[in-house]
Amino acid sequence: MLELDQILLFASTAILLAATPGPDVIYVITRGITQGRASALAAAAGFSLGNIVHTALVILGVSAIIKASPIAFTAIKIAGAVYLIYIGIKIFRSGSARADKDDKLLAPKTVFIQSVTANILNPKVAVFFIALFPQFIREQNGHASMQMFLLGMLFIICTFIVFSACALFSGQIGELLKKREKGAGMLNKVAGSVLIGLGVALALSKR
């Protein structure tokens, strides 16, 4: 089991890291502004629950293999970069998702799937888990795998809290922009461009 100070320190770290701007936060905010709270919360849930996979990979040792293998790391990195660029292009070309045309709106289920996929295909998350989790493992607290599992669940809860706050805030902004299609369209282009840029940066980044 985890000790209270261990939980508080890890939770504080997780919240600070989750609040750092990245593809996840940007995508959640974009969906909140352009489609409302429901879609933004779906994105928040997707990016948070995607960490279940990374937690399992760390426990099973697969993440260590990915980190040690340049080929595996690069393959997953390129796949993740391409997917980010793909999402960015779709958002950029969508114009105003607040328009009356329903075909421009993504269902929350689709948003959720996109978010989970983007999270899983980011090898830096796996490497990050490898670097972070061991710092909070204590030998006297039992089996390391169980501690990593609990830390993973705590990380998911913390990220969902942060992402949900972003979702609710951006959803409120979206309501204010609801009747200003031009403004929402411009935000789509900006957000799409940022995601494309992040995808390119991921593709060019080193471990």
Q: Is residue 25 part of a domain?
A: no
Q: Is residue 117 part of a domain?
A: yes
Q: Is residue 173 part of a domain?
A: yes
Which pTM does this prediction carry?
0.83
**pLDDT tens digits along 137-178:** 888 888 889 999 999 999 999 999 999 999 999 999 888 876
Could you list the residue range(s) of the whole structural domain that residue 95 is in?
4-11+32-204
Q: Per-residue pLDDT for 185 more than 90?
A: no
Contact (CB, 8 A) for 88 and 30: no
Query: What pLDDT was estimated at residue 56?
Result: 93
**Mean of the per-residue pLDDT values for the chain?**
86
Q: Is residue 130 part of a domain?
A: yes
**pLDDT tens digits along 105-126:** 789 999 999 999 999 998 888 8
Q: Is residue 24 part of a domain?
A: no
DSSP state of 207: -
For residue 93, give both structure tokens. Answer: 């070309």
Separation CA 116–CA 141 (nearest Å): 31
Query: What's the whole-number mean pLDDT along residues 1-9?
Result: 90
Separation CA 73–CA 207 (nearest Å): 8
Query: What's the whole-number mean pLDDT along residues 164-193?
Result: 80
Q: Which of 5-9, 90-94, 167-171, 184-188 has the lowest mean pLDDT?
A: 184-188
**pLDDT tens digits along 16-35:** 999 988 889 989 998 898 88
For the chain, what is the domain count? 1
Q: Per-residue pLDDT for 127 more than 90?
A: no
Query: What pLDDT was estimated at residue 104?
Result: 59
Query: What pLDDT was estimated at residue 97?
Result: 45
Q: Is residue 51 part of a domain?
A: yes
From the list 167, 73, 162, 78, the residue with the least C-alpha distance to 123 is: 73
Q: Is residue 183 part of a domain?
A: yes
Long-range own/partner contacts, residues 131-137 (CB < 8 A, 24 or more apart)? 132/13, 133/58, 136/6, 136/9, 136/10
3-class secondary structure, 13: helix
**pLDDT tens digits along 68-107:** 888 888 888 899 899 989 988 988 887 644 444 444 578 9
Q: Is residue 78 part of a domain?
A: yes
